[in-house]
Amino acid sequence: MKKVLILATILAVPALAYYLLQEKGKNRYRPLSIFGPKIPASSFHFKKGRKIPDTIYHVVHDFKLLNQDSQTTSFPSDSNRLSVVAFFYTRCSRTCSQINKRMSDVFRVYKKNKLIKFFSITVDPSFDTPAVLKEYAGQYRAQSGKWIFLTGEEATIYNLVKEDFLLDTFRDTSQKNNIIHSSMLVLLDPNKRIRGYYDSLDKEQVDRLIDEIRVLIAEELRQTKRY
């Protein structure tokens, strides 16, 4: 009986290991949330025999701004890529340096990944010309074409912040050259839907952004394989 039990154990271990690798080892990440207003569509899809109405999600509209090389840059520059977007200005105090320091942390993790790009958009475009942005970007070794610093008309940028990224920014008239703006890093999927907000002043949230970029990449790759 003892020999039988030992033999059964020896045979069972590889089978259990195979099961764990095949079933438990699969990526079972839950999809990230989609932020912003949602409108029921007139179309439907079926899931497990149930008729489910489609949803029209909030998206960031296409826009064009000048990059640090004085070139007109379209957003998104590549509709097949994820984007991380931050808002800042170069005359800002410690807050903006912290924003771009955390952006740099995320950038270094994914700088060789072709599925994602990074955008830092100034909220002080009257001062932050392309030349100013180019010098500023050099502090963070921002790779041209991968981490892009943008400027443009103030009205266009402020409307973009509010209507598309669903954040706030405004000039503080009580202090010279002071602009109130969000410290959030915003994660967008290739469909330009907002999939996450992460406070750059909170390291734990930035670490979560790094993890959730992996989740979104996996989600997009699975989606691609379906078609």
Q: Is residue 207 pLDDT above 70, yes or no? A: yes
Q: Is residue 48 pLDDT above 90, yes or no? A: no
pLDDT in tens, 164-174: 999 999 988 88
In the chain, the percentage of residues whose pLDDT exceeds 70 is 83
CATH label, 62-225, candidates 1.10.10.10, 3.40.30.10, 3.40.50.300, 3.40.50.2000: 3.40.30.10
Residue 29: predicted pLDDT: 60
CA atoms within 13 Å, Cβ hemisphere of 12: 6
Structure tokens at 181: 């703006």
Burial of 32 (0-12, 13-18, 19+ CB in 10 A): middle
Confidence of residue 130 (pLDDT cuts 50, 70, 90): very high
Of 109, 102, 111, nearest in space to 120 by CA: 102
Residue 98: predicted pLDDT: 93
Q: Is residue 4 pLDDT above 80, yes or no? A: no
Q: Is residue 18 pLDDT above 50, yes or no? A: no
> Helix, strand, or coil here: 142?
coil
Helix 94-110 crosses helix 203-225 at what angle (to 10 degrees)? 40
Identify how many contiguous H helices and E strands the chain contains and give both numbers. 5, 11
Higher pLDDT, 15 or 126: 126
Q: Is residue 43 pLDDT above 90, yes or no? A: no
> Helix, strand, or coil here: 136?
helix
User: Rounded mean pLDDT of 69-90?
Assistant: 88
Residue 178: predicted pLDDT: 86
Residue 21: predicted pLDDT: 36
d(CA 133, CA 44): 46
Residue 1: predicted pLDDT: 54
d(CA 93, CA 86): 16
Q: Is residue 23 pLDDT above 50, yes or no? A: no
Confidence of residue 116 (pLDDT cuts 50, 70, 90): very high
Residue 183: predicted pLDDT: 95
Cis peptide before 31 (omega within 30 of 0): no
d(CA 120, CA 103): 9
Average pLDDT in the chain:
84
Q: Is residue 225 pLDDT above 50, yes or no? A: yes
**What secondary structure does DSSP assign to 183-224, as a single string?**
-EEEEE-TT--EEEEEETT-HHHHHHHHHHHHHHHHHHHHHH
Residue 78: predicted pLDDT: 64
Q: Range with the lowest mean pLDDT among 77-81, 85-89, 102-106, 162-166?
A: 77-81
